[in-house]
Chain A
Amino acid sequence: MQSILFIVFLPLLAAIVAGLTNKAAPSVFAKSITTGALFISCALSWPIFLGFVGGTAEAGVVPVLTWVKSGTLTFDWALRVDTLTAVMLVVITSVSALVHLYSWGYMDEDPDQPRFFAYLSLFTFAMLMLVTADNLVQMFFGWEGVGLASYLLIGFWFKKPSACAAAIKAFVVNRVGDLGFMLGIFGTWMVFQTTSIPEILEAAPGMTGATIGFLGYRMHTMDILCILLFIGAMGKSAQLGLHTWLPDAMEGPTPVSALIHAATMVTAGVFMVCRLSPMFEAAPVALGLVTFIGAATCFFAATIGTTQWDIKRVIAYSTCSQLGYMFFAAGVGAYGGAMFHLYTHAFFKALLFLGAGSVIHAMHHEQDMRYYGGLRKHIPLTFWAMMMGTLAITGVGIYDLHIGFAGFWSKDAIIEVAYARGTDLGQFAFWMGVFAALLTSFYSWRLMFLTFWGKPRWIESEHIQHSVHKTPEQAGEDTTGGYHPHESPVSMLIPLGVLSVGAVLAGQVFAPTFLDSEAFWNGAIFYNEGLIHAMHGVPVLVKYAAFIVMVTGLLGAYWAYIRNTSIPGKFVVQFRLVHRFVYNKWYFDELYNVLFVKPAFWLGRQFWQKGDVGTIDRFGPNGVAWVVAQGALVAKKVQSGYLYSYALIMLLGLVAAITWVLF
């Protein structure tokens, strides 16, 4: 159990050493120690996870240091390891180690490599602190720590204004969620008089009948607490309303997108809901909200994914949508299903991002899929890796044979369990999930077809034009412009290979453990026996629903992007308004700009110029100064130096005094 100390603190140590030496040492130094530390962490994590799979490991807590003792509000630094943590440990350390390795190749030409690797390791440390937290405040520490790392990495290329803007946006939008999280912690502590997660979870069922005042309203205690905490989860996991930062976060280098904005950090919200699942089970309204937000996000993000041109943005919206699946799975009570999808998604989504990075690397930093095409033969290994990822995310598998890629196992289980839940919200989630699965299949294959099939359209790209020093006119017939995409170096291909294995096998191997084994979870999450039985008993058509829509989406994409490539253009012309609405991301950014950003600056200027300067200073100090100055003018006139005026004043004073005394 003590190995958890090394797992968590080695990345921190590596980050500090690499960050402080920075450019004083050759970049290979920073790269080696950070990557080395991560591989050691990874090697130490898998035995822990396999111990829980095999049923030999036991949950435990390793205390580290006292943190805060303030009256009854106490919390310490401690590392908790149980099944849920173990799952997250392998996801985080494996993906992080692979992303470190991948970055050797991807960031090879960047002058700031030590800083990049230090940030990556710092992120890993914060994420590990989050998942090993034994109390809510340490979870919040990790929560904010990953936020910081995310901010730094999105803004890694800080000379680009768009990267800076995206970094700030990510941090600030997350802070909106954190507001909810913080209030949730305050409320939880006030109700339970502890921040220790096990103690809270134990006491939660006893609070199902409790009510509490909040902002002047009386509410069910557990509902309001869980809703506040869930607002935090919505921010971190980019759920509908607080999702706007995630697509912009793609400004960061692609390995960052794979690690932070696909596999690990954005799943922290799902992790939190699962970690606190006994608490959420005491809050029906809050869980209803979780289900609704999850289902809505999964549909909404998928629609946007079908229209974007930037390869990374498509995958980003896809992530947003898949997180929605996890949330509504948790909302209907299938925490094991949510965690399972988190687990498989980490592999195939990291794979898709790293694959996209490999394509971008091959295409001279061009990210627009309109300028790809026909890459299948030029970068075959990347193509096959992306293929595995696509087969996994779309959920290819054959139900009757019990064989399929990772997404087949996890996503289909979620869709089934939503149906099995049997409530109206469950039905809503089911239909949203099925429709989103259709769109998932469509946009995933659209990405594949645009990138790897068809004729090269490379010369249209400015990046390629820079590379080959030709304009499209000069290139003439040759739409490649004479550009030769090159396959990525070995350091990038190894992670793709390893993750491909995960994308193929993770579902097949671990499905029984994650979905059906109460012994595996061993109390780490709330296990709903009845729901799992119901999930296995859903009608056959429900079981095939995901398969049917998957094939439909594939055929649709094939038809539109291979057979008859004029269809998308015609569609856009025909449904101009719908397309504009979806293509512009449902106008969330514009709306928030008008509602929050502009008013904040306007109010700031008003408060400053009209409030501070125009009112407080004008009538305050400056006003007093003016009165004193005017008074001085009057006084100056009185002090004229003429004897007769002084005599008059004396006389008046005398009269006044006598009057006062007499009457």
Chain B
Amino acid sequence: MDGFPILSVMLLVPLLAAMACFLVDARTARMVALVATLIDFALGVVLWCSYDIGGAQWQFVEKANVFSGFSYALGIDGIALTLIMLTVFLMPICILASWESVTKRVSEYMAAFLVMELLMIGVFAAQDIFLFYIMFEAGLIPMYLIIGVWGGDNRIYASYKFFLYTLLGSVLMLIAIFWMIQQAGTTDIPTLMQYDFPASAQTWLWLAFFASFAVKMPMWPVHTWLPDAHVQAPTAGSVILAGVLLKMGGYGFIRFSLPMFPEASAQFAWLVFALSMVAVVYTSLVALVQSDMKKLIAYSSVAHMAIVTVGLFAFNVQGLEGAMMVMLGHGLVSGALFLCVGVIYDRLHTREINRYGGLSINMPKYALFFMLFTMASVGLPGTSNFIGEFLALAGIYQISTFVALVCTTGIILGAAYMLYLYRRVAFGEQKNADAAAMPDLNAREWAMLAPIAAAVLWMGVYPESFLAPMRADIAALDARIARAAPESDSQLKIGTPTGKIANEIAHHEEPGEEGAH
């Protein structure tokens, strides 16, 4: 693999395919998009296989100076690798999900998705902070178009809300980036990650980045764009939004906020905890009363991403690895849940939960997949989300038992809203004739859901495949931020053992011993 610019090729393939899409008709455009995303997936597998675990921190590095310090620099570590894998894995599935449901402006739609893929990979692979910023912000445009052009009835409102919310944070981030380059004299991300900014400057720099990442994440109370965006977006748009775009916030925290501003991160950890605790309880309860399937899953995403943020700011290995695993697991599971919604939306053209019911009867295969993803979303051990939630919560428990307690209530509330959803959709009598007449999954839908199901179980049973590449990078990050780690509220004091058991029985022969107990 030496010398082969695999990351650039992964960016180039969707770009060329996107251009090609404009030149051909709808049917060919679909095919071009599918082939291109599959090639990217294959390249991703090659990337994963040839990633040297335990080797250099930054691998597959490419660098070309462009002008005045700005350079086209790519390179990945284990953290970026797993997120790139998530992206290239979900993309072909998104194309399949749009195969029949998108009928107008197909070429443009496919091109938008391919550009989206280019930008997402670019975000995770960029090693130049400007390049990152460009990719990060440009990602807004195709998503804005996908929602605004191919979305539902209220798509204009949703797309503007999405755009404005996310743009607002970015402006502050750009200012911070300028200041940082001025201060450190480089745009190179690995160098910046080692640079110690003065503690006073860290505070406002952290806040500027936070404004951007918190919106992307999204954290309470800047989450309200997400339900609207999800509801209006076409199925594949929702999958990419929940699956990958939300992860950019978490990636931002782990790549920028934590290593570059450790002291400020510790200083604001309690702000993050407070917002996350509110998010877990608040959005879970809101999810409970939704009557729109997509809105329900969107709110559940906010609750899950709150587990990511507490994990990240737990300042220990378990929290960080847990947060990463939640991001990967949630990417798969929420994506799959949106696909599940899409499957029945395509048939009945409504997201109203009450219009369905008893789908287990006429769609047993669908019900099985939906059950699996519901359980994964609930965090059942053996599925991907359990590993992440367990590690993230174990991480935060070491810092604060209170935060851990509040966030763990998410497992109760999560079970409540997801099972309540499942019950209304798949259980009960078939009360609507049209819902009862819907056919079960076809081959295309099988091809969408089965790979995700396999990945969800794989990640739950043998997460080592995903933890191993990022282990060294997480350890390095943990070592860097350890100096600022907040104090634990547990403070175990060993003391002298009593040497007694709880149910010590006094022997009747020796009544004198009684008093000793």
**Chain A residues within CB distance 8 Å of chain B:** 19, 22-23, 65-71, 73, 77, 137, 140-141, 144-145, 148, 151, 155, 158-159, 161, 164, 167-168, 171-172, 175-176, 178-179, 182-183, 185-187, 189-191, 205-216, 221, 280-284, 287, 332-333, 420-422, 526, 528, 530-531, 533-534, 537, 600-601, 603-605, 607-608, 611-612, 616-617, 620-621, 624
Contacts and interface: CB of A to CB of B under 8 A. Distances in A.
Interface stretch (B22-30, B189-197, B419-427): B419-427
B493 A179 contact: no
A150 to B, nearest CB: 12
A178 B401 CA distance: 16
Interface in B317-361: 317-318, 321-322, 358, 360-361
Given A281-B501, A601-B288, 20 more contacts: A67-B462, A68-B464, A69-B464, A144-B386, A145-B382, A148-B380, A158-B428, A183-B405, A187-B490, A191-B492, A208-B497, A213-B401, A213-B488, A214-B490, A216-B402, A281-B503, A333-B505, A531-B505, A603-B285, A620-B221
A159 B428 contact: yes
Q: Which of B381, B390, B412, B498 has the most CB of A within 10 A?
A: B381
A182 B416 contact: no
A122 to B, nearest CB: 11
Contact of A604 (B285, B394, B464, B493): B285
B398 interface: yes
Interface string B436-459: 000000000000000000000000
Interface in B221-237: 221-222, 224-225, 227
Contact of B494 (A73, A209, A213): A209
Contacts of A287: 502-503
A144 B375 CA distance: 10
A221 B321 CA distance: 27
B282 interface: yes
A144 B429 CA distance: 28
Q: Which of A144, A179, A421 has the most CB of B within 10 A?
A: A144
A136 to B, nearest CB: 11
Which 10 pairs, one residue from A and one from B, show the smallest C-beta to C-beta distance?
A333-B503, A209-B495, A71-B317, A530-B505, A186-B397, A604-B289, A604-B285, A141-B381, A158-B427, A284-B502
Q: Which of B463, B493, B502 has the most CB of A within 10 A?
A: B502
A526 B505 CA distance: 14
A187 B224 contact: no
A625 to B, nearest CB: 8
A182 to B, nearest CB: 6
B172 to A, nearest CB: 15
Contacts of A534: 505, 508
Interface string B472-512: 00010010000000001111111111111111111110000
Contact of B411 (A164, A179, A213): A179
B463 A67 contact: yes
B42 interface: no
Nearest to B371: A152
A577 to B, nearest CB: 34
Contacts of A187: 397, 401, 490
Given A179-B409, A182-B393, A71 B316 contact: yes
Interface in B359-410: 360-361, 364, 368, 375, 380-382, 386-387, 390-391, 393-394, 397-398, 401-402, 404-405, 408-409
Contacts of B420: 168
Contact of A531 (B290, B413, B498, B503): B503
A190 B381 contact: no
Contacts of B375: 148
Contact of B415 (A19, A158, A175, A281): A175
Contacts of A22: 364
Nearest to B382: A141
B497 A159 contact: no
Contacts of B322: 70
B286 interface: yes
9 contacts: A19-B368, A167-B419, A172-B416, A176-B412, A212-B492, A213-B488, A215-B402, A333-B505, A612-B227
Nearest to B168: A624
B499 A186 contact: no
Given A67-B463, A282-B501, A422-B505, A144 B380 contact: yes
B391 A70 contact: yes
B175 interface: no
B461 interface: yes
A605 B282 CA distance: 10
Contacts of A137: 381, 390
Given A140-B381, A158-B428, A287-B502, A182 B464 contact: no
B318 A73 contact: yes
B282 A171 contact: no
A209 B398 contact: no
B286 A190 contact: no
Contacts of A214: 401, 490
Contact of B427 (A65, A145, A155, A420): A155
Contact of B289 (A283, A332, A605): A605
Contacts of A612: 224, 227, 286
B164 interface: yes
A604 B286 contact: yes
A207 B358 CA distance: 53
Contacts of A221: 492
A155 B427 CA distance: 9
Contacts of A23: 364
B255 interface: no
B492 A65 contact: no
Contacts of B397: 183, 186-187, 190
Nearest to A23: B364
B493 A69 contact: no
B495 A210 contact: yes
Contacts of A73: 317-318, 391, 394
A272 B344 CA distance: 42
B387 A528 contact: no
B181 interface: no
Given A151-B419, A190-B398, A611-B282, A161 B428 contact: yes
A175 B289 contact: no
Q: Which of B283, B411, B427 has the most CB of A within 10 A?
A: B427
B168 to A, nearest CB: 9
A421 B401 contact: no
A171 B419 contact: yes
Contact of A616 (B224, B387, B428, B495): B224
Contacts of B501: 205, 281-282, 333, 526, 528
Contacts of B387: 68
Contact of A209 (B408, B489, B496): B496
B38 interface: no
B467 interface: yes
Nearest to B423: A164
Q: Which of B288, B317, B361, B478 has the most CB of A within 10 A?
A: B288
Nearest to B221: A616
Contact of A528 (B471, B488, B505): B505
A213 B408 contact: no
Given A209-B495, A283-B502, A182 B390 contact: yes
B165 interface: yes
Given A164-B423, A283-B502, A528-B503, A179 B497 contact: no
A210 B164 contact: no
A213 B289 contact: no
A70 B423 CA distance: 36
